[in-house]
Chains A and B, each alone.
Chain A
Amino acid sequence: MNMQAIKTEPATALAKPPVASVALSPKQPVSFDRYAKMAKETAARVIPPLIVVLLLGVMWELLCRRTGSTLPPPSKVYKDTKELIFDPFFDNGGLDKGLFWHISASLLRVAYGYSLAAVVGIGLGTLVGQSVWAMRGLDPIFQVLRTIPPLAWLPLALAAFRDGQPSAIFVIFITSIWPIIINTAVGIRNIPQDYRNVAAVVQLNPVEFFWKVMLPAAAPYIFTGLRIGIGLSWLAIIAAEMLIGGVGIGFFIWDAWNSSHMSEIILALFYVGIVGFVLDRLIAALGKLVTHGTSVS
C-alpha cells in the first residue's frame, strides 16, 4: 500500500479515484467474514446440545409411548401441561396458582435466606480469616455443622419458629452460609502482606480497611462462595417446601405427585433446572462485574 501511494503521488490526480475504490472494497468481505465466523462459532456451541436434547426427547418418547409405561412421554407432558405453560399467571386462590407464582414464592424465600447468609457469612468469614483465635475457636464447629444436611435442620427450625415460612428461610440460610464463610475466610487469609503494609502506612482504620482493602482483595474468593451458596439454597428450598407446604415450586411438585399428575412434575422439574441455572449465572455475572480487573495483579 505504501509503495503504491508513493508511486501514485507524482502521477496525475486521475490515478486517485481507482486507488480509493480499491481501498474500500476489501473492507466489506472482512466484516462479512467476521459475521460468518461469529455465526459459525455460535452454531458450534448451540447445535451439539440441541442435537443431544432432540435425541434424548426421541428416546424418551419411544420408551414411554408403550402402554403400561409408568411415566408419560413428552408429547403427553406437553398436552397435559399446555395450560400451565401458556398461562403461568393465573390465580384461582389457595394453592391453585400459575407456575409463575409458585416460582416467585420460592425465589422470595431464597432471596431472604440467601441475603441473610451472604451478609452474616461474609462477616463471620472475615472474622475467621482475620483473627487466629476466632479461627481456632470457630473453624472446627463450622466444619462439623456444614456437613449436616439441610433438611435435618427443618424439624428443629419448625419447633423454634412454629411456622413454615421462617423455617424455610432458616433452612436456606443455614445451607448456603457455610461455603460463603469458608471461602471468605480463605480470601481474607490470602490478602498479600503488601496490601496490609500499604494500609498500615496510609493508616486506614479498621472500617476503611474492611471496605477499601479486604472486601475488594477477597472478592474473587467471596464470589466463589456466593456461587456455591446460591446453588445449595436452590437445592434446599425445593426439599424444604415439599415438607412445609404452601405456595412454592417444591410443594407444587409434591402436590402433583399426590394427585398423580406426572406431567406437571416433569414440567416443574424443567423450570427448577432453568431457574437454578439462571441463578448460578446471575451470581457469576455479578462476580465478574464486581471483581473486574482485580483478579489480575
Chain B
Amino acid sequence: MKAYLKLDHVDKVFTRGKVSSEVLKDINLSLGKGEYISIIGHSGCGKSTMLNIIAGLTRATMGGVILEDREVNSPGPDRAVVFQNHSLLPWLTVYQNVRLGVDKVFAKTKSRAERDEWTMHNLNLVQMTHAKDKRPSEISGGMKQRVGIARALAMEPKVLLLDEPFGALDALTRAHLQDSVMALHQKLGNTIVMITHDVDEAVLLSDRIVMMTNGPSATIGEVLDVPLARPRQRLELASNPVYLDCRKRVLEFLYERHKFVEAA
C-alpha cells in the first residue's frame, strides 16, 4: 500500500533555556488511505506531541510529515483535529461552531446555501441537529464531543486526528461514541489517527495499533495489526480469540516490557 500520510524520521526536542529534553526520537510511520490507526502509550510518552506534529500545531525538530507527497508543517483543515476537551467556542451555538470551519474551507467552492446544507448534513451525521441552536454550555459532554467530531468532519479532512477523544467521558457515553465513530469511518472511509490510553478502545477501533515506548526519547516500540473484519460488533468481539489475543499483546507491551516508571 502506498503511503498516504508519512512521518519521516521525526525528532522533537523541547528547549527551555539551557535545558533541552528529547521527547520523540526517530518516529517513522506510514498510513494507507482509509486506515484507522491508534497510538497508545503511557502518559508522558509524547503521544500528544506526535499528534500535534501531524496537525502542524507543533513543529518537528528534525524530519517531517508528508501528506499525499507534500510536506506539511503548519496547521490546516486537511488535518482536522478533534480535541480531548472538545474545544468548542462557548459563545457560538452548535451550528455556528461547525459553520465556522465550513465557511473557511468552502468559502470559494460552495454557495451560502450549500454551506448551510453541508453544516446541517454533518450535524446530522453525529445526530446533533436537534441541538443546533444550543450553546456548548447547554449540552452534555458526550454531545460536545459529537459536535467536535462534526466540526472536524465538516472540513472534509484528508486525515482526521483524534486526541483522546473519549477520555473525558463516562464509560457508557464513551462506548456509544466509539460505535458512532466506527460507523462514520465505515461510511466515509476517512483516514484516522487516534491517540488513546484505553487498550479496548484501541483494539476495537483500529486497523493497526502503534505502541510507544516510555519517554524521554520515546519512539515506536511495536506496531500491531488487528486483523478483525469490519463492521465490528462490541459484544461479539468480547469472546473473539483474535480480539483477545490483540488485547493481550498490547497489555503485555504496556505492562511487562515497557512498564510505566513513576519517576519518569
Instruction: List residues of chain B with CB within 8 A of the CB of A197.
Output: 55, 57, 75, 81, 83, 87
CA distance A198 to B101 in the complex (A): 9
Nearest-neighbour CB distance to chain B for A194, whole angstroms, equals 4
Residue pair B57, A297 in contact (C-beta under 8 Å): no
Residue pair B136, A297 in contact (C-beta under 8 Å): yes
CA distance A170 to B101 in the complex (A): 43
Give the interface SS of chain B, mostly helix, strand, loop or mixed.
loop
Inter-chain CB contacts under 8 Å: number: 61
Number of A residues, CB within 8 Å of B:
21
Residue pair A201, B77 in contact (C-beta under 8 Å): yes
Residue pair A194, B79 in contact (C-beta under 8 Å): no
CA distance A219 to B155 in the complex (A): 28
Residue pair A293, B135 in contact (C-beta under 8 Å): yes
Query: When the two chains form the complex, which single residue of A200, A212, A294 contacts B100, counting CB atoms closer than 8 Å?
Result: A212
Nearest-neighbour CB distance to chain B for A293, whole angstroms, equals 5
Closest to A297 in B: B90
Interface size band for B: 20 to 34
Residue pair A297, B76 in contact (C-beta under 8 Å): no
Closest to B85 in A: A194
CA distance A194 to B86 in the complex (A): 9
Residue pair B89, A213 in contact (C-beta under 8 Å): yes
> Is the C-beta of B80 less than 8 angstroms from some C-beta in chain A?
yes
Residue pair A200, B57 in contact (C-beta under 8 Å): yes
> Is the C-beta of A231 less than 8 angstroms from some C-beta in chain B?
no
Query: When the two chains form the complex, which single residue of A194, A203, A219, A296 contacts B87, counting CB atoms closer than 8 Å?
Result: A194
Instruction: List residues of chain B with CB within 8 A of the CB of A217.
Output: 89, 91
Instruction: List residues of chain A with CB within 8 A of the CB of B90.
Output: 293-294, 296-297
Beyond A194-B83, A202-B105, A297-B137: 6 further Cβ-contacts under 8 Å? Answer: A202-B101, A202-B104, A212-B89, A212-B100, A216-B91, A297-B136
Q: Can you give 30 contacting A-B residue pairs, CB < 8 Å? A: A192-B87, A194-B83, A194-B87, A195-B89, A197-B57, A197-B81, A197-B83, A200-B56, A200-B57, A201-B55, A201-B75, A201-B76, A201-B77, A201-B80, A201-B101, A202-B155, A203-B75, A203-B76, A203-B77, A204-B104, A213-B89, A216-B91, A217-B91, A219-B91, A293-B90, A293-B91, A293-B135, A296-B90, A296-B137, A297-B137
